[in-house]
Amino acid sequence: MVYVGEGESLVKRLRGYLTPDRSQVTNIRIKRTLETELQNGSKVELHTLEFDSIDLLIDKDADKYELIAMDRLQHPFIRRMMENVTILLHDAINTEILNRALNPIERRRIKALKLMGQ
């Protein structure tokens, strides 16, 4: 079982899992899963991402590259990109991936139903 999360601060991210606000549906779900797994005697591990710098070709004609490096993870789009790459690299056949990928329309529909009490 694997869950890949991203955040600017690891301490804040972990605090969110341990003491989620009522509106933090993902954090509540992950906390519940962690508690269940620990009660069942499962081993829970925390890993942080480390990687060598990556040059992404942005414009072939202009020979323009974008450097993706550890010191650029404060940028939320770069963090989310690396989160998605990490999810893709996991073996989804032999590992249950806990990340839920909802398209934005489905996410809004679910939120609207909850607001309407359904």
Q: Give the SS3 label for residue 54.
A: strand
Q: How confident is the model at residue 102 (pLDDT cuts 50, 70, 90)?
A: low
Q: Which residues contact 65 (CB under 8 A, 6 or more apart)?
A: 55, 56, 57, 58
Tens of pLDDT, residues 1-37: 888 888 888 899 899 999 999 999 889 999 999 999 9
Record the tokens describing residue 25, joined without a space: 């549906």
Q: What is the pLDDT of residues 46-95, one digit of tens each?
A: 888 899 999 999 888 999 998 999 999 999 999 989 988 888 888 777 77
Confidence (pLDDT) at 104? 64
Q: Count H helices and E strands in the chain, helices first.
A: 4, 2
Share of the chain above pLDDT 90, in %: 42
In 3D space, the residue among 106, 108, 84 whose CA is nearest the CA of residue 97 turns out to be 84
Judge contact between 18 and 31, C-beta under 8 A.
yes
Please give the model's pTM, rounded to 2 decimal places. 0.70
